[in-house]
A = this chain, B = another copy of it.
């Protein structure tokens, strides 16, 4: 059976402001010294098991140009434009319907566009195991990440008995508080929910039909119209009517036949500016510095220079990011508050900076 991949690339990536903007979110940025963007890395690392013509990018209509520019190898008909943001369940249903039109049935890898993988061979080997498990019955497979510390920013997957190379999923749990996260870690029965899924088109459609019948029926109509002159009209009508729902809440927390494969391939969700020093090399003072920067006695600083000179003198545990029209100076303890800057900009009508 064909192996296809659906890369979800509709996110806004507000936590990487001011580099990420509405007009160019995180997945279209390079945050590593090699200059490759996140979505380019996502596609390139899949090529050992998925061909270009079987890779589908689902993104906001506004980003079609960026996708074409950054991924010229992806066929144009594989770039699926969401008319509006509706979370992951409608996104996946849309892609599944389109792929279902192309192939009778197929395996579908569902992957975020903005994560990093340290060990790509292990990643491919994990995906292959997931493909094998997905081929049996109506199985839905999720890649769980072996946790190495009690992160409170991710959902967790509680798994039960071993079934071949996978584990039966007992339940998905929301982001825990720190004591709970510590219990999860100590129990050895929890994985991080990475948002990567593997299943057959037929399996996910059957589950959509059961648990999200409205989205299922809309997706079928979108799939039937795909390639016809009326497609755009059908897509806008049906997709806009979808409820905004995550695939986790809509299906994964309700379906049976859910399996997880533990992944241990150097996954990083690159969730905030703090990631930059993790995913790049730092100097002897633990600084990561790029671009037009003079640093005098700074320590543990992440500094991304732009056109103008950034002079950082004696600063510690700080993130500095320069762009043409805005510069961020953020304590490492407050990287989540970057969203508050965006909220203030919106409130004051300064949308050109958002």
Q: Are A329 and B326 in contact (CB under 8 A)?
A: no
A308 within 8 A of B: yes
User: How many residues on the A side are at the interface (Cβ–Cβ under 8 A)?
Assistant: 36
A66 within 8 A of B: no
Chain B residues with CB under 8 Å of A17's CB are 311
Chain B residues with CB under 8 Å of A309's CB are 18, 325-327, 345, 350, 353
Q: Are A328 and B341 in contact (CB under 8 A)?
A: no
Instruction: Name the distance in Å between A301's Cβ and chain B's nearest Cβ.
Output: 9
Q: Are B331 and A329 in contact (CB under 8 A)?
A: no
Most buried by B among A18, A310, A341, A345: A341
Q: Are B314 and A331 in contact (CB under 8 A)?
A: yes
From residue 293 to 344 of chain A, which have CB atoms closer than 8 A to chain B?
A: 294, 296-297, 308-316, 318, 320, 322, 324-331, 333-335, 337-338, 340-341, 344
Most buried by B among A326, A329, A338: A329
Q: Mark A13-42, 1 if CB is under 8 A from B, else 0.
A: 000011000000000000000000000000
Q: Are B297 and A344 in contact (CB under 8 A)?
A: no
The copy count of this chain in the complex is 2
Query: Contacts A327-B322, A329-B318, A334-B296 given: A341-B308 contact, CB under 8 Å?
Result: no
Chain B residues with CB under 8 Å of A331's CB are 313-316
Chain B residues with CB under 8 Å of A326's CB are 308-311
Q: Are A18 and B325 in contact (CB under 8 A)?
A: no
Query: Contacts A296-B334, A334-B296 given: A328-B340 contact, CB under 8 Å?
Result: no
Q: How far is the CA of A296 from the CA of B340 in the complex (A)?
A: 7
Q: Mark A126-149, 1 if CB is under 8 A from B, else 0.
A: 000000000000000000000000
Q: How far is the CA of A353 from the CA of B344 in the complex (A)?
A: 32
Q: Are A341 and B296 in contact (CB under 8 A)?
A: yes
Q: Closest B-chain residue to A319, C-beta based? A: B313
Most buried by B among A296, A310, A313: A313
Q: Are A337 and B325 in contact (CB under 8 A)?
A: no
Chain A interface (Cβ < 8 Å from any Cβ of B) = 17-18, 294, 296-297, 308-316, 318, 320, 322, 324-331, 333-335, 337-338, 340-341, 344-345, 350, 353
User: What are 21 contact pairs spanning A and B, CB under 8 A?
Assistant: A294-B344, A294-B345, A296-B334, A308-B324, A308-B326, A309-B327, A309-B345, A309-B350, A311-B327, A311-B329, A311-B338, A312-B330, A313-B329, A313-B334, A313-B335, A313-B338, A313-B341, A314-B334, A315-B330, A315-B331, A327-B327
